[in-house]
Structure 1
């Protein structure tokens, strides 16, 4: 029974957002980590993300039953009722938002609200079913956790927060499209107008290259503006160069699904290593460049 409720929160997504929240926190902490604040921030953010994932499961029941990888989810099998799932989501969200409001700060709370509203309202309820631009909308919610982590420490939205917000959002694009190519038939059967299905896999590969270059350009700004040191410059660009290489060889791939799986898995490795690298690639003292 507990396993059903755990999987309703999408553990894979929880882990990914846990890592990116940690990354934002480590960047802002500049080596001086308040472990209690870190624990509270991670807990609050994880609960909010979990709440959003439960609501997404409720909304996507009709889509999930048409996709092989999701057709055994609890909401599809009716092993958890909608009212129970809604109460579960409310409790998770209430506790998560309360933690961020009372024990972190208003910036962390604000970006948690932005991420939740965009994911549930603008992405799950609207754009996922209607437009190829769904991935751009979804990337906004995906980029909220690192900013929550960053602002939890910095207590301001500065240039560093803006760069990781844009950078992590840009990363979401090739990452999400890789899943859609790998699970192409699922997305096609469900009628989801994501780029590979609505346009073509070839066009998606071209846009992946473009977004990787934009991702690299934006996050190199962390070094240019003095938030990170030369170790960041070396490690980040080495990691991204390999991702770029994988995107290029995709044009000659004999099996798009196998290539997309490799491309997707590396994107997860990259964002994880990038986030963890902020524990030693920060620049101290960081520049004081507040935006608001």
Structure 2
């Protein structure tokens, strides 16, 4: 069988070791962009575009916005990997990242991130609009200079304020369709802003020792589990409240899903708090995964509601 495989490889003129090296190198550069993070951002960008026009946007506009937005997010994530290589090296959760394993030289990763960032600006400027391009670059700069270089290693509130960068895709999506930024974009921004702490602190509860070893003062590192769980509950309630502020721009369909999903998530957030107070075994990663599901349900409801074109309720605040 091995002989047949070698003959086949010679027939197509490809050296197996060379092909593997190309794949490994491409995979390493892709890993620098943190594809799973980008995937989550795209889940919110598309519904924001649907809501902006209360209809299905142009496929070309969606594609251009998603490609440009993915390049911007990939740029920020790659530059983050360069700056945080020392942290990633001592954390079990991140020790397989490309710079830790020397799969990509540090200088090349820096250049890769900068090129992606410049490319995202050009892509969005010429295929979407200048406002979307400027917002994308502002997001990259905020993530690198405010979150990564200033907040992350200095304050337990790092993900609260630094998480604003992860809220920007909905604003960029809205700007891509309308060329402006209006109140529903700010409300969607706030939904993700208040979603980020429960999402991230649940993960940090699981990997508390990792963050402590790396010297990153995540809230679960510097506060008691009960305090962290209480903060998760508080932020969850505020998050659900902000989702309901989108009801005037949507219909009863979105309102039903937002309320149901919010009730579901609050049930589990309170469950985590109750387990912590009782000293029972906790599973914070269960809440972490449910937070992803919750965000997807809320924003998919936005997209479906807008695509159907149901009349907006237009209720006063």
* TM-score interval, normalised by the smaller of the two chains: over 0.9
Distance 2:290 2:109 in 1: 33
2:197 aligned with 1:173 = yes
1:249 aligns with 2:249: no
Match of 2:157 in 1: 133
* C-alpha distance in 1 between matches for 2:142 and 2:225: 26
Greater RCO between the two (CA within 8 Å, min separation 6)?
Answer: 1
Judge conservation of contact 1:163–1:218 (CA < 8 Å) in 2: yes
Deviation at 1:237, TM superposition (A): 1.1
Partner of 1:102: 126
Q: Quick check: 228-237 or 275-284, which moved more?
A: 275-284
CA distance in 2, matches of 1:210, 1:127: 22
Tell me the equivalent position of 1:82: 106
- Tell me how far apart the structure 2 counterparts of residues 242 and 192 of structure 1 sit (CA, whole Å): 31
TM-score (norm 2): 0.86
**Residue 285 of structure 1, CA deviation:** 6.5
The answer for the alignment partner of 1:11 in structure 2 is 35
Residue in 1 that maps onto 2:180: 156
- Secondary structure at the residue paired with 1:130? coil
Shift in Å, 1:29: 2.8
Alpha-carbon distance in 1 for matches of 2:219, 2:198: 11
* Offset of residue 251 of structure 1: 2.3
Residues 107 and 157 in structure 1, CA contact (< 8 A), matched pair in contact too: no
Q: How many residues align?
A: 284
* Partner in structure 1 of residue 256 of structure 2: 234
Structure 2 residue corresponding to 1:187, chosen from 172, 193, 211: 211
Structure 1 unaligned blocks of 5 or more: none
Contact 1:231 1:281 in 2 (8 A): yes
1:41-52, aligned counterparts within 5 Å? 41-52=65-76
Give the drift of 1:23. 2.1
Shift of 1:214: 0.9
Whether the 8 Å contact between 2:252 and 2:313 is mirrored in structure 1 is no
- Give the structure-1-normalised TM-score: 0.93
Shift in Å at residue 203 of structure 1? 0.8
Q: Tell me, what secondary structure is at the counterpart of 1:278?
A: helix
* In structure 2, distance between residues paired with 1:109 and 1:200: 42
Match of 2:79 among 29, 52, 55: 55
Report if aligned partners of 1:163, 1:222 keep a CA contact under 8 Å in 2: yes
Q: What is the DSSP-based 3-state SS (H/G/I as helix, E as strand, rest coil) of the residue aligned with 1:74?
A: coil
CA RMSD for the aligned pairs? 1.6
| Equivalent position SS for 2:304 | coil
